[in-house]
Amino acid sequence: MNELGFIGCNLNPDPSGGHWTAPPLTDRCWYPLCEKMVELDVPAMVHVSSSCNPNFHATGAHYINADTTAFMQFLTADLFRDFPTLRFIIPHGGGAVPYHWGRYRGLAQDLKRPPLGDLIRDNVFFDTCVYHQPGIELLLKVVPADNILFGSEMVGAGPRHRSGDRATTSMTPSATSTRSVSIDEDRQAQDLRRQRAQGLPRGSTRALRAEPLRETDYRSTDSTC
């Protein structure tokens, strides 16, 4: 850090590559690293490497599993009590955490842990690398804005766009022109599902987004999602 000017480090929580044989990040075996991070005042991005386990595709499963697992490790331990200024960045929007925020809030309550907002306030940050606008919107609705960092990716899980795909363009600064197309396709697909659920002809101009789906509508569209 001091010699080359790096401003952070990458921390692989699973050196086994998908077999999870290492102790959790909150184990004391990691404390020398935590002490050095505090001394240098730098954060670590929690990011696994390749998967050696055929059950877990690297970018489609292993990465997201690791993001979510790291958050749960932080939730269940007192690492930040021992290191109040320690900072971690969980990439890919925090894995499954924002989507299941209510689950983790309930777990924190049952385990007598601090509220999630207090848990992450000064120590855990998520980035915006979730590949489509609805994911970013969910992240911003659920996670405090002060704990969200801008992030983009190239190539990552792959910026690609094929006819018929929905929301396949990655959210990179260079994707400005294609990003709006991707978002429009996402909305068009949502409208089409709602039209089918409500018995409307395809291409109907009825203002569907103003009418949220009822519970029965969700059940009726399961086969088309």
Residue 153 appears among annotated catalytic residues = yes
Reading the block at residue 93, the tokens are 């929007």
User: Which of the residues 3, 153, 185, 211 is marked catalytic?
Assistant: 153
Burial 58-87 (b: 16+ CB within 10 A, else e): beeebbbbbbbbbbebbbeeebbeeeeebb
Backbone angles phi, psi at 87, to 5 degrees: -130, 135
Query: SS3 of 126, please?
Result: strand
Strands, E, within 80-192: which ranges? 88-90, 124-127, 148-149
Q: Report d(CA 89, CA 147) in Å as an integer.
A: 9
Q: Tell me which DSSP letter residue 155 carries.
A: S
User: Which active-site residues does the annotation give?
Assistant: 153
